[in-house]
Chain A
Amino acid sequence: MSAAVATPVVTPVVTPVVIVGTGLAGYNLAREFRKLDSDTPLLLISADDGRSYSKPMLSTGFGKHKDADGLSMAEPGAMAEQLKAEIYTHTRITGIDPGHKRLWIGEEPVAYRDLVLAWGAEPIRVPVAGDAQDAILPINDLEDYARFRAAAAGKKRVLLLGAGLIGCEFANDLSLGGYQVELVAPCEQVMPGLLHPAAAAAVQAGLESLGARFHLGPVLASLNRTGAGLQGRLSDGTPIACDLVLSAVGLRPRTELAAAAGLQVNRGIMVDRELRSSHANIYALGDCAEVDGLNLQYVMPLMHCARALAQTLAGKPSAVSYGPMPVTVKTPVCPLVVSPPPRDRPGEWTVEGSGSDIRALCRDVAGSLLGYALTGTAVQEKLALNKQLPALLA
């Protein structure tokens, strides 16, 4: 019963708690649940190879010279044993039937006591003309990372699409790994929406000092194969020669199967503060979930949700609460911690510092701190400032 297997076996006598997803959300929920309940059968289903790894570390692998195996922390068989669970790998669920408390893997029904959707978010794809669209690779999981590393072996020039948090982390990491990075994004600054422009300028300058080149404003219009590699052309006409393209334009919560099953979805799968969806016995957490209106694709809120949901599944209904949720961005060339002000809390920004050391603070009219962006040496102030920040879900 501890083996990770790819095909469904006999339905257990007691219907299991079923978790779809073996990312940090699925595995941490399973681990927290097992601390409270060691008996209820547990089944995890993953579309990928089911290895345990930390997704945040994918954007540090080149700098640390770690390949996909080096980032893997445990095989699914070891996880199955540790969690006293069954784990189906390379298994894609194809439908949910809430009325009969079962899901479908192709023609195979799987009954559940409770179902937890922890299937994450998927890369947004942008349309690009030309004959080399298949050379545009996303990195959204460990297998993507393995594919990208294989494609990047022996290459020099990476065209990177996207200037958000993930794009900037990869720009830093690929530069450390010896690649010439050309970053293309249709925004005016890096991390728009997340970051104050003064802090964004500091991060961009840091990445430029590593040799990364920024093309902010245009999009990649076309990508074609040439004898030596690839030829990109931006919407402003600029040609960029490269060897491969990394797409990091953003992630969208996976909602399709949930919507098809009649669950309420908005940006993500809508759940309340007990992580309950609009249907009994179905829960969601992690990047796919919109918790009381908040879809936060970070580890910290996910861990809060895993602990609360484990309690609920073990028979003690528990609501999640979020304190401040500052985000540490892994751009070592210019350290950055950012805590954007909560929605619908207007405030005024003040900016101090210069060069790579920026301290941007957002306060409301009463002078209360709502958010901040700290770069360079200013990141040392984060813990003192965190104590003044408002909770996101009090």
Chain B
Amino acid sequence: MFRQYLCEICGHIYDEALGAPQEGIAPGTRWEDVPDSWVCPDCGVTKSDFGLCES
């Protein structure tokens, strides 16, 4: 099951099912496999500012 992670600064959602293909992160990429250098495409904060979406 794919999970979603929410940027707590701006509200952007990283969806594991969708990945971030424009930034070289393939659909299906798990959160833990997203590189630590990746930043929020909407506000520029790092992975540590994201939290798991409870659903």
Question: Is residue A304 contacting chain B, with contact meaning CB distance below 8 A?
Answer: yes
A54 adjacent to B10 (CB under 8 Å): yes
With A54-B8, A303-B39 in contact, is A383–B44 under 8 Å at CB? no
With A304-B44, A328-B42, A383-B22 in contact, is A299–B9 under 8 Å at CB? yes
| Per-residue contact bits, chain B 1-30, to A (CB 8 Å; 1 contact, 0 not) | 000000011111000000000110000000
Question: Is residue A60 contacting chain B, with contact meaning CB distance below 8 A?
Answer: yes
A56 adjacent to B43 (CB under 8 Å): yes
A24 adjacent to B9 (CB under 8 Å): yes
With A383-B22, A384-B22 in contact, is A299–B43 under 8 Å at CB? yes
B39 adjacent to A299 (CB under 8 Å): no
- A56: B residues at CB distance < 8 A: 9-11, 43
Number of interface residues of A (CB under 8 A): 20
B11 adjacent to A330 (CB under 8 Å): yes
Q: How many A-B residue pairs have CB under 8 A?
A: 43
- C-alpha spacing A175/B9, complex, angstroms: 22
- A54: B residues at CB distance < 8 A: 8-10
Question: Is residue A136 contacting chain B, with contact meaning CB distance below 8 A?
Answer: no
Dominant SS at the B interface?
loop
Interface size class of B (residues with CB under 8 A): 10 to 19
Residues from 335 to 394 in A contacting B, C-beta threshold 8 Å: 383-384, 386-387
Residue in chain A with minimal CB distance to B22: A383
A303 adjacent to B43 (CB under 8 Å): yes
| Per-residue contact bits, chain A 309-353, to B (CB 8 Å; 1 contact, 0 not) | 000000000000000000010100000000000000000000000
With A54-B10, A56-B10, A383-B22 in contact, is A303–B45 under 8 Å at CB? yes
Beyond contacts A54-B9, A57-B10, A299-B10: 20 other A-B pairs, Cβ-Cβ < 8 A, are A28-B45, A56-B9, A56-B11, A56-B43, A57-B8, A57-B9, A60-B11, A73-B8, A299-B9, A299-B44, A303-B43, A303-B45, A328-B10, A328-B43, A330-B11, A383-B22, A383-B23, A383-B41, A384-B22, A386-B22
